[in-house]
Each structure stands twice: as C-alpha cells, then as structure tokens.
Amino acid sequence: MSFTIGSGGMGMGPGYLLDTFGSAAEHRGKPFNPRVVRRLLAFLRPHWRTLLVAFVAMLIATGLTLLIPYLLKLAIDQYIGKNDYPGLVRIALITGLAYLGLYASSAGQQYLLSRVGQRLLSTMRADLFRHLNNLSLSYHDTHIVGVTVSRVINDVAVINDLLSQGWITFIGDAFILAGIIWIMFSMNVKLAIIALLVVPLMILATVIFARHAQAAFRETRSSVARVVGNLAEEIAGIRVIQAFAQENTIEERFREVNRANRDANINAMSLSFIYMPTIEFLSTLATALVLWFGGRSVIAGEVTLGVLVAFLSYVSRFFQPIQELSRLYTTMQSAMAGGEQVLNVLDTPPDVQDAPDAVEMPPIRGRIEFRNVSFRYRPDAPEVLHNINLTIEPGTRAALVGPTGAGKSTIANLAARFYEVTDGAVLIDGIDVRTVKQGSLRRQVGVVPQDSFLFAGTIAENIRFGRPEASDAEVEEAARMANAHDFIISLPDGYQTPILENAANLSVGQRQLICIARAILVNPRILILDEATANIDTVSEALIQQALERLLQGRTAIIIAHRLSTIQNADIIYVIQDGRIVEQGRHEELLALGGVYRTLHGKQFKGEQV
C-alpha cells in the first residue's frame, strides 16, 4: 500500500488556479443544457417507484386545486343563492374533504420528494467522492482543495434541489395552468380573455429576466467556490500566516473574494427582486381587471356571482404556478452551472488508468528499471525528466540527490506509477508497470513522505491504515520496530489516542515514526523515502534512522534526501540535475569524481542547504 500524500511542484500559484478553474470554467454552457439534464436525470432512475407515487400524489393535489374554486361556484350559485341548506351542508363537507385531500396529497408528495432528495444527495456526493478518490495526482495537483469541496457540497446540493423537486413542480404547475385556462374558458370566454391579457407582459418580463439571470447565477457558483477555496487554503496555512504575521494581508485577500461573492449574490438577488414584484404587480392587475369587468357583468346579470368568485380564485391560483416556475427557473440556472462543473469532474478521466487487459502484479522481488523515461506534467508543459535510464537491483538502496526541482520526487512518483511516463517505460521485475493493475502494484510499494500526513482517528487506526485487518498485536509490533511504541504508550490513551487536526498533539518526529510504523505493517517490497528525515531534531532523527534501518532490511529502496550524510551508505547514488542523471556511483566514487556531487557535498560541509 502506498501512502504518499502531497503536491507536485507545478509552478502555478493560487491566482492561476482560481482564474482558470474558479472563474473561466464557470461561464461555459447554456441556460438550459439538454446534455447536462439528461445526465443528471440518470441519477433519478433508482428512485422511480418512489417518484411515481409522488407523481400520483401531485396529480391528486393538482386535481383538487382545480376542483376547489369550482366547488365555491356551486356553493354560491346552486345552494346559497337558492337557500338550499341541506345542499350547502353537502357542498361544505365535500369542500372540506377536498381541502383535507389537498393537504394530505401535498404533504405526501413533499415527504416522498424530500426522502428521494436526501438519498439522491448522498448518492451524488458518494459518486463524486469516489471519482475524486480515483483521479490521478495530476488532477489534484492542479485543483484547489476548497474548490473541489465546493463541488461536492454546494453544487451537488443545488443540483439535488432541481432533480428532487424541480421536475415534478414543473409538471404540476404546467397541469394547473392548463387546467385553469380550460376551466376559465369553459365558464366565460370574455372573463378568461381579460384574465389572460397580462400573460404576454409576463412572458416578456420572464424572457428579459432569463437573459440576465444566466450569467448572474453562474457567477454566484463561481464566487462561492472561490470563497471556499480561499478559506480552505488559509485554514491549512494558518501556522505560516501567523509565523509571518500576515493575518491582515490574508484577511484582506479573503475580504476581496468574500466581497466578490457578496456582490454576485446581490446582483442575482436584485434581478429576482425586480422580476418577482413585476409578476406580483401583473397578478394584481389581472385580479383587478377580472373584478372590475366581472363585477359589472354580475350587476348586469350577465355572469353569476359564483362564476366571478371562482374566476377570482382561479386567477389567484393561475399566477402562483407562474411565480413558482420563475423561481424554478432561477434554481435551474444555478443547477445548470453546478451541474456542468460536477459533470466536468465526473467526466475527467484519471491520467493513470488500468489497461483493459491489466493483470495482477505478482509478488515483487524489487528490481526497478527506467528505460529512456521522459516526463512532463501536462501536454503543454515543459519536460521535467529527459531520457532517464537507471536500474536498481533487488535489495539495493538507491539515493537520489540534487538541487530542489531537479526531478528527484518525480522519479520516485513514476516508480509507484502515480503519474504516467510521457516517453519510455518503467519496469518492476522486468514488467512494464502500465500492464498491471495499479492497486496490485502500490500494495507492494511503501512511501514514507516528508510531510507525515495522519488521518482523523486514533494512532492505531493510522498505523493499520494500509492493513485494516491487522491485529492489535501486529500494530504494536510495527510500532516497536518503528521506535514509536514507547512514546505511544506514554500518551494518556496509548494506541487509542485520537489524532487532532493537523496532528497538533504530536511532534514532527512522532508523526514520522507513526508513518514508518504504517509502512512496516504493510511489509512492502519497495520503499520510497521522500526526505524522510528532513526537518527533524537530532534525537528524533536517530530514532527514525534506527527504524528505517529495520524497515530497509532486504528491501529495495529509493531514498531522497537533501542532507547527504543520511545517504552516504547507499549502494548507489544518482545525481539529478535539470531532469537528467548527470552522475552515478557510490559516495566515495562521486567525491573522487569532483563533479556536481562533490560541489553539493562541499556546500553542505560548509553548512549551506543543498
């Protein structure tokens, strides 16, 4: 099992990422994208039975919504006007039952849709997380964590609103509108035409609103992603911020993205605040016109009072669905923006994929070979490795040294196939790593990174991360071999001590020892030690070196270190400069050569950092 957690040096700062991923990408697409809708609707298929019941409940509610005003007409014209008390009692009971049925069917519909919505939310987030978990390191190197979190939390939530509620609301409102129009025309054509006079104005207002709403709601999705991204970065870097007393600078940077989010939301809300009162005004105008002309018709004896009351009720109900549809449109705008971004993530294939005919990696002996390997992080990026050729025999300790950015970590990452080579091939025991399943390879490769990443949970859970089935005795034995047992049992809860945020309750050396114990428990055949003893105090380094000696016994190791004193006993040292192997040999041979290694050694001897 490999445990590498970290970033790749890509030479791109937060500004670049925010501009490319958090802004420009947000503004692609259409107000209504059929492709996005089809893809999103596929998430509803497993819930079709529940949705069918909700649909039936919606039809019942729609029918009762249309029936109730007509019952009022009958009550006024057939019973109240004729002093028919028994008939009035009957129609009152029927109307009461209709209202109860309306409330029950509406409540049932909302309950079922909310239930589907929560399941849908859970499924979409799980699918998105699973895909993010399988994406290659190259994706995570170039995407801000907070923006990715925004995709999983915010964008999925707004998509869920549209999928679980929006489509059935649209159908129900459409049925109500069609039913009201049919009933009004069947009762009185003149009043129906008067009631619908404002509809063209309403359509015009909706078209104008839609034209401006798309960009506004896309910007709200973009800006909230930038806020989350900025916040995540600054929380993660709080130690550095405080160490350099840059709280004010960082606060101002957050205020800028926060203001942008505020302005984007105000802009979107302003459009809604203009549009919704316009719809309300037109609704009121239609009601006033019906009341005026209908009242005159009642006085003239052309229309019954019951028809006028029913018309006023239908007009009120007619504009409610239109208002709901306008709100649904704003939800759709936001969901389309979020949906495009979520689908962009789901449609991003991992750069490193198992071939269709990939096989399980057999038990590794430990021979590593690079044949004419060149590598670039992106197709449009410069090469960072050029024609690398090296062979590390089983059980050999190979050290990679060189200036920062020379390509040492890249070589180590290619050995574990965290990235795909651009040219050439990486072979383990003579097998091209592209022909085997990634998991079967990485389960036999252990990585002890410089940044000792520990997960939330207990110390024991972190040690057995690569082997969840390991017994307590095996966990303790691994900790003993890693020189971690003594400090662990000195803690109040021993192996059950919880790891705090950023492992703040452990020293850097203690975290490193736990990472070594984690690697020991997996018992890998190949080890990658990426600056494993950098930034460690002398006492901790001695403990770590002892633990590493036990770990390295009989295993092939790639050791990356800036401090040359830690790799003087390596079987072979490769000196990397500008992505090329410029020297190779043992420590004494390279010193005698008088080349780059000798220069690096001389600088370090003088106390300079290599």
Q: Would you list the DSSP string of 353-385?
A: ---TT-BPPPPP---EEEEEEEE-SSTTSPPSE
Q: What is the pLDDT of residues 337-368, one digit of tens each?
A: 778 888 888 888 888 888 899 999 999 999 99
Q: Is there a contact between 544 and 385 (Cβ–Cβ < 8 Å)?
A: no
Number of domains comprising the chain = 2
Q: Classify residue 171: in a domain, yes or no.
A: yes
Q: Can you tell me the mean pLDDT for 118-129?
A: 86
The residues, any chain, with a CB within 8 Å of residue 577's CB and separated by 6 or more, are: 402, 403, 406, 596
Q: Are residues 246 and 370 in the same domain?
A: no
Q: Is there a contact between 428 and 360 (Cβ–Cβ < 8 Å)?
A: no
CATH of the domain at 317: 1.20.1560.10
The predicted structure's pLDDT at residue 341: 82
| Displacement of CA 598 from its chain's centroid (Å) | 48
Instruction: State yes or no: pLDDT of 609 exceeds 80.
Output: no
| 610 — pLDDT class (breaks 50, 70, 90) | very low
Q: What value, to the nearest 5°, has the Cα angle with vertex 140 and ends 137 and 143?
A: 155
Q: Are residues 302 and 376 in the same domain?
A: no
Q: Classify residue 3: in a domain, yes or no.
A: no
Q: Classify residue 514: in a domain, yes or no.
A: no
Q: What is the pLDDT of residues 229-270, one digit of tens each?
A: 777 777 767 766 776 677 788 888 888 888 888 888 888 777
Q: Classify residue 475: in a domain, yes or no.
A: no
Q: Are residues 337 and 370 in the same domain?
A: no
Please give the DSSP secondary-structure letter assigned to residue 75: I
CATH of the domain at 605: 3.40.50.300
Q: Classify residue 554: in a domain, yes or no.
A: no
d(CA 604, CA 610): 6
End-of-domain residue from the set 286, 311, 346: 346
End-of-domain residue from the set 307, 328, 346: 346
Q: Are residues 175 and 109 in the same domain?
A: yes
Q: Are residues 128 and 189 in the same domain?
A: yes
Q: Are residues 328 and 356 in the same domain?
A: no
Q: For the purposes of burial, counting CB atoms within 10 Å of the CB of 14, is it exposed (0-12), middle (13-18) or buried (19 or more)? A: middle
* Structural domain that includes position 130: 30-346
Q: Are residues 151 and 255 in the same domain?
A: yes
Instruction: State yes or no: pLDDT of 26 exceeds 60.
Output: no
The predicted structure's pLDDT at residue 317: 85
Q: What percent of the chain has pLDDT over 90?
A: 32
Q: Are residues 327 and 387 in the same domain?
A: no
Q: Are residues 264 and 288 in the same domain?
A: yes
Q: Would you list the DSSP string of 336-348?
A: HHHHHHHHHHHT-
The predicted structure's pLDDT at residue 59: 94
Q: What is the pLDDT of residues 427-446, one digit of tens each?
A: 999 999 999 999 899 889 98
Instruction: State yes or no: pLDDT of 16 exceeds 60.
Output: no
The predicted structure's pLDDT at residue 537: 64
End-of-domain residue from the set 346, 362, 392: 346
Q: Are residues 295 and 419 in the same domain?
A: no
Instruction: State yes or no: pLDDT of 10 exceeds 50.
Output: no
Q: Classify residue 413: in a domain, yes or no.
A: yes
Q: Are residues 41 and 152 in the same domain?
A: yes
Q: Classify residue 459: in a domain, yes or no.
A: no
Q: Are residues 391 and 333 in the same domain?
A: no
Q: Classify residue 543: in a domain, yes or no.
A: no
| 605 — pLDDT class (breaks 50, 70, 90) | low
